[in-house]
Chains A and B, each alone.
Chain A
Amino acid sequence: MSFRSRFIGREILKPFKISKSFLFFERTFALTLFLLQIAVYSQSDWVRWEKSDPTYQIEDTYIEREYDLSIESATDIIVKPVINTYWFFISDVDGANCPFHPSCSSFLTQSMKETNLFQGTLMFFDRFTRDTNVFGRHEHYPRFGTNNYYDPISLYTLDENRIKYIPAKTFTVE
């Protein structure tokens, strides 16, 4: 019996507690907003957690150019040196012109790696068309990083099982 009444007691105390704090603080409006915010429960305790000391450092999003020097097929002998030269002499010094991730030249090398020279070329021309079209990108592609659209090779190999649809405007990581 006493336990049930203890519970009722808490209910009696609740409005008392709030009105006291209201008297104490002048910024009542801010407080109400804050109390509303408190009422929204948090899910951070749904998994057991330990002490954590996250780094003070600011995340470094800079991506170093990784030259691809591996030769795995006959096409690599022709394509790779051209791509690497393009990257070194042109792509790295002519500014950020590609809105997509992976960039157009990486798209070409990757698609050739995953399919063949002929199909890779077709995929590249298609990508180039999409790159030229500046309209409706925002409504069409998911996002990657701060200022890129995500347009992976797996969508265009014509293998339906590899297509993993990601809705537009979603933020993605690889």
Chain B
Amino acid sequence: MNYFIIILKQFILNSFSILSFPRKWESILFNNFWIPVFTGMTSQLLTARKTNFIKVLTFLIISGTSIYSQQIDFNSPQNIKLFADYLFCDKDYLRAIDEYEKYLSVFDDDTVQFKIAIGYSAINDQSYAYKKFSSIKKTSAFYEQSKIEMLKSLYLQNIDSSYFLYAGILINSQSPFSNNAYRLKNTSLLFIKNDLPEKERFLIPFENEEKNKFSNLYDLKNNPPYKSDAWAGILSAIIPGAGKIYTQEYGDGITAFILTGLFAYLAYTNFEHDHPTRAWIFTAIGAGFYAGNIYGSVASAQIFNARVNFEFNEGVKLFLEEKNYFVPTYDFCK
């Protein structure tokens, strides 16, 4: 008897959920073809309630379980796509790509193709992203977007001759994103040594706000705040440690001055007090520190310059990332 009560409860709950969620109505009307028949029969059965109670109960049991065991075809293309969309918006890109591919084996859908490519780009598999973007057909609404995305993928793989070649083609094409390509290309020129065009030409694609920023970057690239390694060496030769101070290694500079000075003093006093052996040892060590510091100052200037380059490149990279590489962003997850 308990079992019947449970089933009854389920049935009541189910009818309640049908009332509260309109989508259930739809699933009853469209997915489960036999239910309209059943709903039509209810009134008849209700009238027979008193005479044939057990029959009604049996019916309720069956109807209850039938509704409860709601059937979903997980592998229908529509459901695969729904699930894939959910995964995509959950940033579970690799799984979303797998599901989208399943969907594509049944239907041809350029939005899905584009989202696959975007997914590969998001998980930073740029060579696959490039392949997928390049497979989008000319008739697609995403054709032009995929062209500029291809440039981004090439950029993120390697800034090489094929990248610049493709950028050139895109800039000279009729694409609505040719200016974006132009901006990305000119920005990436900042990574390459001594290969900048004239300032006027460099700034052509940029708009007002960006123009100032890029004008500064251009100047910084052409006149980086390097320290001269020769000058660092000369300074240290004149005053021990001065070269290191010039390259902003203040602690090392002062230490070098003290060490050289200390051993020079020790050598001097030992010569004065007639301890020639000790004096010569101290002289040798002092000379070592003196020469080592000149050498170290030159190296220090080189490291300083490497840091300038590093920070400049990192800054440009970060800026490009913020700007999404001058590529439009899409919101598929509204």
Contact = CB atoms under 8 A, between A and B. Distances in A.
14 contacts: A2-B30, A3-B78, A3-B82, A5-B26, A45-B94, A47-B94, A121-B292, A123-B295, A125-B293, A129-B252, A129-B292, A129-B293, A133-B251, A135-B251
A129 B289 contact: yes
B291 A163 contact: no
A174 B234 CA distance: 34
Nearest to A164: B306
Say what secondary structure dominates the interface of chain B: helix
B211 interface: no
The CB with the most chain B CB atoms within 10 A, among A123, A129, A130, is that of: A129
Q: Chain A contact residues (Cβ within 8 angstroms of B): what range?
A: 35 or more
Interface of A: 1-3, 5-9, 12, 41, 43, 45-48, 119, 121-126, 128-130, 132-133, 135-136, 140, 155-156, 158, 160, 163-165, 167
B288 interface: yes
Given A41-B91, A47-B94, A165-B306, A132 B255 contact: yes
Interface string B189-216: 0000000000000000000000000000
Interface residues of B, number: 42
Given A9-B21, A47-B123, A129-B259, 20 more contacts: A1-B30, A2-B27, A3-B79, A5-B23, A41-B92, A45-B94, A47-B94, A121-B288, A123-B292, A123-B295, A125-B291, A125-B293, A125-B295, A126-B292, A130-B252, A133-B254, A133-B255, A158-B298, A158-B302, A160-B302
B90 interface: yes
Contacts of B21: 9, 12
Contact of A122 (B90, B254, B291, B307): B291
B252 A2 contact: no
Contacts of A163: 302-303, 306
B94 A46 contact: yes
Contact of B251 (A128, A136, A160, A167): A136
Nearest to B25: A5
B134 to A, nearest CB: 22
Contact of B26 (A2, A164, A165): A2
B117 interface: no
B288 A125 contact: yes
Say what secondary structure dominates the interface of chain A: helix
A42 to B, nearest CB: 9
A21 to B, nearest CB: 19
A18 B303 CA distance: 55
Contacts of B298: 158
Nearest to B81: A3
A41 B94 CA distance: 13
B145 interface: no
A25 to B, nearest CB: 24
B17 to A, nearest CB: 10
A45 B95 contact: yes
Contacts of A41: 90-92
Contact of B295 (A43, A46, A122, A164): A122
Contacts of A133: 251-252, 254-255
B228 interface: no
A87 to B, nearest CB: 21
Contacts of A7: 82
A125 B299 contact: no
Contacts of B27: 2, 6
Nearest to A157: B299
Q: Which 9 A-B pairs have the closest CB atoms?
A: A125-B292, A126-B296, A5-B23, A133-B255, A135-B251, A122-B295, A165-B306, A46-B123, A165-B310
